[in-house]
Structure 1
Amino acid sequence: MFSPGWDTMKSFFHTSFHHLTLTERQRIIAPILGLVLLIVGGLFLVALHPSVQPDERRLYIAASITFTLYSWVLLRYLFPYAEQYPVLRWVILVGHAIGIPLISLLFANVGLLFDAIMSLLTVILVVILFGRWPAYTFLTSNTLPRLVVYTLGNIPRGHTFLAVAIPLFGLTLIETFSIVGNMLARHITYLETINGVARRINVTIEPPQVIELLSAAIQEALEADTYYIGIQHDGTLRLEVLYDDGEFYPPQEIPEKNSLAALVIAQHRSLLLHNIPKEAPALGISPQTVGKDKINLSWMGTPMEAGGHLIGVVAVGAYRENAFRYSDLELLESIAQQAALALDNAYHHAEVEERSRRDSLTGAYNHGYFLMALAEKARQAQQQGKPLALIMLDIDFFKSYNDTYGHLVGDQVLIKFTDVIKRHIKKGDLVGRWGGEEFAIGLPEANGVQATQIARRIAESMKKLQMHDRQGNPIPAPTISQGIALFPYESDDIYTLVDLADQRLYQAKNNGRNQIFPSPAHWKHIKT
């Protein structure tokens, strides 16, 4: 575990290019080191010039060889080890800062040029490898020795401007490379965010989970005071997620008119406002509040579209002006697009799964799924200590009805029978086609008396059903027989409950059909 001082040192050496690996950063600085080698080669050529004295020639050749070897050691060993040991970075920084001006004294003819070029190239190396503040530390440490060296070295007065020019050029290089590094870091973060969102979202096929992951991605990627995720449905925008200043609000619906979200939906394109009070009136929009009664000053929103249709809107706001850049909007668009594709897939999967649960003719649950759903309702009823009524229904003489009027008319009877049942049950109730002309109804929280009342209303509605044969002539509506059983008072096992309700259905048929069994008096003995 690092000590606090070690952590502080690591933080100081934070570079804008930290998203890149050491190998990638070494590739960036390789051309710079190549230029250093060219300068070293220049020293070697200077050494070969006839005007150079033998002592200077030996010095230049020795320096050329030394610099070449040192550049290789720097790239191969010192920089990689400096990644692990920040102390080594200080050694490299201070050593180069002091060493370059001192070494320049050795080369009378080209010392000034050597100092300027090597100092500025080292600034670039440091800002890329170690960061902005280490580069400023190098520049400061490099300037002070230079002033001393220029004073002691009898540098011509006309060249003293380098004492000022080198730091100024160095400062410019540091800021330029820091800006480029920050832009690169933001772009890499942007790509990492998109990749992370896509990776997480694409592993789920449940719409609520997709929306939850989208919410988490927005919080992670954008500095927003407020945001919402709205799903379009029947002319309204349902905010599945609404976050405002640290607080999540329950889902709510807002009308698709006279709002920034409505504008995004109408135009099918993103919108970015830096100052809502000034920009919104020009768009013909009166700012509205959702969540807290506080107007955002900055806002951006983008549509979620997939498969050629609009799914919803994602919007982000802030309580300060100019909170978002266009790069933020591009990030939001990419996140929303990934979410839209995932939601579209999830909705299609949900539709396919729902169709697999349904009887293709009537739309009622099929036998298998009805049993599963009934078992779940029974489990909930048992946990809550509430009853669950089951009605088994069968159309009387349906085979004769089919034989007389044809199967197409029989199909219409089944469809209308299902519609009649649905009109008399609640949203949380179950209706399933048990097989052929037999149906089943699950009624959570209903007792025997209530189930009998529902059964009667269904029977009365069937009597009033208007039916026609294939020629359009009116024909009599069929009657139905029904059997009722109550969970858990008559059976705490679903399969036994079904058998009991089925037996009572056939008892109703044996009693003359168009009957409900048992009679209302039966339920007086069962206290729920």
Structure 2
Amino acid sequence: MECSPESKIQLLEAEVLALRDLIDVARAVVSTLDLDQVLQIILTSAMRFAETPAGSIALYDTIRSELTLHAHKGLTPEFVKTERWGLHPGGLTERVLTGGEILFVNDTAQTPFFTNPIALAEGIRSLVCIPLKVQSRVVGILYLDDFVPREFDQEKLKLLSVLSSFAAMAIENAQLHRRTRLMAITDSLTGLYNHRYFQQVFGRELNRASRYGKPLSIVMMDVDDFKKFNDTYGHLHGDKVLAAMGDILEDALRDSDSAFRYGGEEFVVLLPETELPSALQVAERLREIVERKSVEVLKGIVPHGVTVSIGVAAFPRDGETRGELFKSVDDLLYRAKEFGKNRVYSRSEGDV
């Protein structure tokens, strides 16, 4: 049956609107490196194409085998508070990741593999899952949800493949930017942040602590007798010690803490919202871990591990400016070495 002129006009208008959406998305992708902002724009456009009241975009971490929510719309706070989730064998998400193809679910109640209790509680009754691919690698999933059973117009939704390509491009651009930025602020040997980035973060955290009346502690450590170690066993094994220090610090600290290679064999740790007693516990734990794990790292190479001397200072107790606080922790590190090394030192009340 031939379409009426009115129907043809409506179809043309819909196509023009869709093309405008694609142009807007393309502009967003090339104009910003804010990944979440771009993904939110893409999600909104995809929901409009699919005529769904809700949706989300999650990125896939291949190392952890889990997804992280980065954009959402039309979903309850209860649903989106689950920001990370793993794969369920045979479940919907695993099928999309392994198959790499768009998956349509017309009625979740009639779909045996749709067993996600959170999604069922949300009332999701139909959905489209679009894999986001960089080359042949799936880096995320675009979910488009409806709260009633329905059959999706698969021809109409072909434009979603274009949108998913834009999303993948945005993810790739953001990840490339992140890698480039990390190279500029990271020490290549230890994998920790470098001295230059320490100065930026230290200033920012100190300003934050001062503005909001929050505690801030700083830990500075130095590998004991490192020059002697290098002279005796060689710089290759010395580098192995420094690399191990990076691994130890990254594994032992909270996500909110930051570790830096200050220079040579010196390392700094910033502990936001941490009072001095807790910072001393962290420092003592780090000292013990280095002493113990360095033996394992150097086993078969040298007959012993290495130790560290540590100074600990806290804002505002030991200094209210960047210069004052850093001088305090540097002096305390020197005192730790002066009093026998392999120890943690802080200022006692009444000390000048």
2:174 equivalent in structure 1: 346
Tell me the residue number matched to 1:431.
259
Q: Distance in 1 between matches of 2:33 and 2:238?
A: 38
Q: Kindly provide the amino acid, as one letter, of the partner of residue 256 in structure 1.
A: L
Which deviations, in whole Å up to 9, do the C-alpha atoms of 1:273-310 show, x marking residues without a partner? 445555x35xxx34546457354444222111113311
Distance in 2 between residues matched to 1:511 and 1:246, nearest whole Å: 58
- Counterpart in 1 of 2:218? 390
Structure 1 residues 276 and 516: alpha-carbon distance in aligned structure 2, compared to 1, 3 A threshold? closer
Q: Compare 506-515 and 384-393 and name the one that shifted more.
A: 506-515
Q: Which residue of 2 aligns with 1:272?
A: 104
Report the alpha carbon displacement of residue 224 of structure 1 after superposing the two structures with TM. 1.0
Q: Report the equivalent of 2:317.
A: 489
Q: Does 1:252 align with 2:80?
A: no
How has the CA–CA distance of structure 1 residues 461 and 317 changed in structure 2, closer, same or farther, with 3 Å as cutoff?
Answer: closer
1:244/1:292 contact within 8 Å kept: no
- CA shift, 1:255, in A, is 4.1
Long gaps (5+) in structure 2: none
Partner Cα distance (1:246, 1:426) in 2: 30
- In structure 2, the partner of 1:466 is 295
Cα deviation, residue 435, structure 1 = 0.6
Separation in 1, partners of 2:343, 2:105: 68
Tell me what 1:235 maps to.
Answer: 65
The one-letter amino acid of 2:100's match is: H
Q: d(CA) in 2 for partners of 1:379 and 1:320? A: 51
**1:337 aligned partner, one-letter code:** S
Q: Which residue of 1 aligns with 2:30?
A: 202
Instruction: Give the whole-Å Cα distance in 2 for the aligned partners of 1:261 and 1:460.
Output: 43
Letter in 1 for 2:80: Y
Give the distance between the partners of 1:430 and 1:252, measured in 2 at CA.
Answer: 23
**The 10-residue stretch of structure 1 (348-357 or 363-372) with the greater mean CA deviation from structure 2:** 348-357
Report the residue type matching 2:221 in the other structure: L
CA distance in 2, matches of 1:437, 1:331: 55
Cα gap change, 1:460/1:524 in structure 2, threshold over 3 Å: closer, same or farther? Answer: farther
SS in 1 for 2:229: helix
| Map 1:4-43 → 2, pairs under 5 A | none
Do the aligned partners of 1:243 and 1:249 also contact (CA within 8 Å) in 2? no
Q: Compared with structure 1, are the counterparts of its residues 518 and 294 closer, same or farther at alpha carbon in structure 2 (3 Å cutoff)? A: closer
Q: Partner of 1:455: helix, strand, or coil?
A: helix
SS of the residue corresponding to residue 492 of structure 1 reads: coil
**Is residue 394–residue 480 contact of structure 1 (8 Å, CA) maintained in 2?**
yes
Map residues 210-359 of structure 1 onto 2, 5 A cutoff.
210-233=38-61, 234-244=64-74, 249-257=80-88, 258-277=90-109, 280=111, 285-286=113-114, 288=116, 290=118, 293=121, 295-322=123-150, 324-359=152-187
User: Match of 2:304?
Assistant: 476
> Which amino acid counterpart does residue 265 of structure 1 have in structure 2?
L
Identity level (%): 27
In structure 1, the residue corresponding to 2:51 is in which secondary structure? coil
Q: Deviations over 1:384-427 (max 9, x none)?
A: 32221112111122111101100011011112223333344322
- TM-score normalised according to structure 1 size: 0.60
Q: Please state which structure has a larger fraction of its residues in helix.
A: 1
CA displacement at 1:434 relative to structure 2: 0.7
Structure 1 residues 462-482: Cα deviation after superposition (integer angstroms, max 9, x where no partner): 332316779x34322233222
Is 1:414 the counterpart of 2:242 in the alignment? yes
Deviation at 1:524, TM superposition (A): 8.2
CA contact 1:467–1:474 (8 Å) conserved in 2: no
Query: What pairs up with 1:132-151 in 2 under 5 angstroms?
Result: none
In the alignment, the residues of structure 1 paired with residue 286 and residue 323 of structure 2 have an alpha-carbon distance, to the nearest angstrom, of 24
Segment of structure 1 superposing worse, 204-213 or 358-367: 204-213
Residue 31 of structure 2 aligns to a residue whose secondary structure is: coil
Deviation of residue 357 (structure 1)? 1.5
Equivalent residue pairs, number:
347
Instruction: Flag the structure with higher strand content.
Output: 2
State the alpha-carbon separation in 1 of the partners of residues 53 and 87 from structure 2: 23
What amino acid maps onto 2:83 in structure 1? Q
The 8 Å contact of residues 242 and 251 in structure 1, kept in 2 or not, is answered as no
Cα distance in structure 2, aligned partners of 1:299 and 1:232: 19
The structure whose Rg is larger is 1
Residue 503 of structure 1, CA deviation: 2.0
Judge conservation of contact 1:261–1:315 (CA < 8 Å) in 2.
no
* Whole-angstrom distance in 2 between the partners of 1:437 and 1:408: 14
